[in-house]
Chain A
């Protein structure tokens, strides 16, 4: 009993200390037990961040990603196997199921080892293509490590990735150079908005296959320059993350501490350890996780005009009238390693509110109005459209590297009631008609009086007139 309680307490403690927003169970698939030691610093870093790591080999008969139909692990880390396959428990289908149920996958590749068909078919489903030639690697004759690859140039040295888009938050910036030995280049499909590039190859790099290269010049490279991705990220509709890391070797202890030198550069230490932390941190949801808090909207008219005192306001009514002025606010928080913090979008980006019935009538940029301890309050004031019906106040915030926020509030927008229109006397065009009514009334009353009480005119006067 005591041990049970102790276990529960420990479990709670580890939950609290975990830095991931979703869970701390991490499964590492590595074929060779001995290889584990090459990555000891990498695993130590993960454990220090609260992950409970289970090491398994793909051949393990008890291996299963699911327990009672739900994912048994929150995160999966796949290292390239020596053999050609990954076994029956790690087929492309199973991995897709695993992602569909919200778990995150980090896939490390290496040009030294073959890429299992399960992996390449999974990548094809995500619209990531690899060179069809086994063993192809990325080479760059301009940015290589002169210390370890002075002849073959297959250890790329890359500066910190910076976001190519102004409106995308960068989660992967590091100081110094990142070494990428024997890396597998990926080419991302253009159609999918789920894919994002984390680290691109330099402009002068290209993919070639060292095996069938017999000293000939390269005639038809699979991909060249910045179209090659060394690390690419996929975030599904359910915000599950899948990261392809082009070089498993870059995670090894030797490259965490190696000192490298660019041609014409000076020797410096790699920042692989920092970069590995950023990539795993993003993939395992320590970064870039968004949450919407309280949503409030109210009528911003009459007695409720420009008050923010929630005790007197009629908050979140289910019905409005067309052309009503409405105030809307939503709280957004971002998970930052161990706590929820106020979310601020990048400078060129906006959180937007759509007032929509089938299609948006309004799409408004929300204004960050107030920061609380762990949320930013985004607000907007707007006039409801002059169309009655069932409307949604819809905040859909989907951005690369951020989990999706979709918050929908449905309200009825009714038409003007008969007594809410302007009175006829307020309409100048109606004045002749109103005047006509009053003249008729007065004439009618006068006519009744005349009919009731008229005295006949004296004959002589009439005769005189005739």
Chain B
């Protein structure tokens, strides 16, 4: 049958872009997850499609291995592409790792994958891992990069993945705020006040006891009459010494305190011996 040439040319023109726009794809794709014990042909088998995403993510557990068998096609016929990868994408870190299919001339391709082939980021991922099949080659055929299925990695309790310590990166480090030692604490003020009052109350009790036992200072006049200078200085120096101690407690340092204390002490020593002589005289006179 001969077609008129004016019909053929437009037909060819229509066919040309179709020919040029052949695209890479795959068919007869099955995914098997095989346990260690189950023999050849065992395990769950699932069909993969080059146009849709499988509804359920597949789970790959510790001892299992994942096996994908498919036929790569360019246009309609099976053919071997230069690039036939299964690309895994970890969503949290953005890490991608590709695994090459081993492909025969007629496009029959297979890939085995188990947990030990995967970097540790995949093994510890909390989100499902996106798995894409990438088929591409030189020339003008449209390449295929299709998100085919999701993969969840079950943790292997027997041999947990060894996670290396993270490598050093220059970045800002977490802030550190020094934790100060706790300030020294005092007991409740009520308690302190109670015992302070109790201690202060001891003084009136002591003075009262002395008064009750007949304590008095009725000989002041007599003593000052006999030796006013000695008594005045001695008692004054006793008070002055307490004053020196008070000043040392509040404002003075040791070098201010010592000379004054020495002077007051000398006065107390000299005047004290005189004053006590007078006291002795009174005692000898039977007045004490």
Among the interface residues B195, B196, B234, B288, which one has the most CB atoms of the partner chain A within 10 A? Answer: B196
Task: Give complex CA distance A442, B239 in Å.
Answer: 10
Q: Is B270 an interface residue (CB 8 A)?
A: no
Judging by beta carbons under 8 Å apart, are B239 and A364 in contact?
Answer: no
Which residues of chain A from 416 to 457 have any CB-CB distance to chain B below 8 Å in the complex?
A: 427-432, 434-436, 438-439, 441-443, 445-446, 448-457
Closest A residue to B96 by beta carbon equals A225
Contact B172 A142 (CB under 8 A): no
Q: Which of A58-66, A148-156, A251-259 contacts B (4 or more CB under 8 A)?
A: A148-156
Closest to B195 in A: A432
Tell me if A352 is interfacial: C-beta within 8 Å of chain B. Answer: yes
Contact flag A218-B168 (CB < 8 Å), given A224-B98, A442-B203: no
Query: Given known contacts A141-B136, A224-B85, is B195 in contact with A428 (CB within 8 Å)?
Result: no
The answer on a CB contact under 8 Å between B200 and A435 is yes
Does any Cβ of A come within 8 Å of B117's Cβ?
no
Is the CB–CB distance between B196 and A431 below 8 Å?
Answer: yes
Q: What is the size, in residues, of chain B's interface with A at 8 Å between Cβ atoms?
A: 72
- The A interface, classified by DSSP as helix, strand, loop or mixed, is mixed
In the assembled complex, the Cα of A455 lies from the Cα of B285 at a distance in Å of 12
Asked whether A204 lies within 8 Å of B192 as measured between CB atoms, the reply is: no
What is the minimal beta-carbon distance from A202 to any residue of chain B, in angstroms? 10
Known contacts A442-B203, A456-B288; A365/B138 CB under 8 A = no
- CA gap between A457 and B287 in the complex, in Å: 10
B6 within 8 A of A: no
Bound: A208/B173 CA distance, A: 40
Q: Is the interface of B mostly helix, strand, loop or mixed?
A: mixed
Q: Does B162 have its Cβ within 8 Å of any Cβ on chain A?
A: no
> What total of chain A residues lie within 8 Å of the partner, measured CB to CB?
75
Cβ contacts under 8 Å, A429 to chain B: 186-187, 192
Residues of B within 8 A of A193 (CB): 167-170
- How distant is A210 from chain B, measured CB to nearest CB, in Å? 10
B287: A residues at CB distance < 8 A: 455-456
Which of A87-95, A283-291, A355-363 is the contact stretch?
Answer: A355-363
Q: Mark B60-81, 1 if CB is under 8 A from A, else 0.
A: 0000000000000000000011
B residues less than 8 Å from A152 (CB atoms): 138
Interface contact A432-B192, CB-CB below 8 Å: yes
Asked if A455 meets B216 with Cβ closer than 8 Å, knowing A203-B87, A217-B80, A224-B85, the reply is: yes
> How many Å lie between the Cα of A365 and that of B174 in the bound state?
9
A208 vs B288: C-alpha distance when bound (angstroms): 122
Q: Which residues of B in the span 170-200 have a Cβ within 8 Å of any Cβ on A?
A: 170-178, 180-181, 186-187, 189, 192-193, 195-200
